[in-house]
């Protein structure tokens, strides 16, 4: 499993971000009670995960650990990974939140987060720095990252 520490991503965030004074209200919770994958837009990403326009350092907006799957419909490895991501959302219902971002539809977000390879999974612990993984992970490696990075059993 290839996990890349995110100072690289955060550095790119600083290059591409435009700091705004306005800030949307923080959502009251992001519990994955339904056990389903939540599709994010640029705006909902800023509300639920990270407001890269407002913050110059990483500040996770959620209450539960999360995985963000950056994908595109034309990407064969993304299509291969998608059922596994949905399985993880169901298996860890109430323990982690699983998000998906269509990089074709959300180009500004993908650029701001430094996404240059698909699929890219972003593993976000409640506290601490996120880590990213490039490419379609096998199930064992995904489970290992959930345990080691997100600290979820």
Active-site residue numbers?
75, 78
| Phi, psi of 132, deg, nearest 5 | -120, 155
3-state secondary structure of 43: helix
Contact 96, 67 (CB under 8 A): yes
CA proximity to 49, closest of 24, 75, 18, 71: 24
Count the neighbouring beta carbons within 10 Å of the beta carbon of residue 91: 13
- Please give the angle made by the CA atoms of 94, 56 and 4, to the nearest 5 degrees: 60
């Amino acid at each position: 499993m290839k996990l890349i520490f995110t100072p690289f991503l955060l550095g790119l965030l600083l290059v591409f971000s435009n700091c705004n004074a306005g800030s949307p209200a923080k959502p009251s919770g992001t519990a994955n009670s339904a056990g389903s994958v939540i599709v994010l837009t640029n705006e909902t990403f800023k509300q639920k995960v990270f407001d890269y326009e407002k913050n110059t350092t990483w500040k996770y907006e959620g209450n539960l650990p999360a995985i963000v799957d950056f994908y595109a419909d034309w990407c064969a490895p993304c299509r291969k990974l998608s059922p596994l991501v949905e399985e993880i959302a169901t298996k860890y219902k109430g323990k982690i939140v699983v998000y998906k971002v269509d990089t074709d539809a959300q180009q500004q977000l993908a650029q701001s987060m430094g996404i240059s390879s698909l699929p890219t999974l972003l593993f976000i612990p409640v506290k601490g720095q996120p880590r990213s993984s490039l490419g379609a992970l096998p199930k064992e490696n995904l489970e290992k990252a959930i345990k080691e990075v997100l600290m979820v059993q």
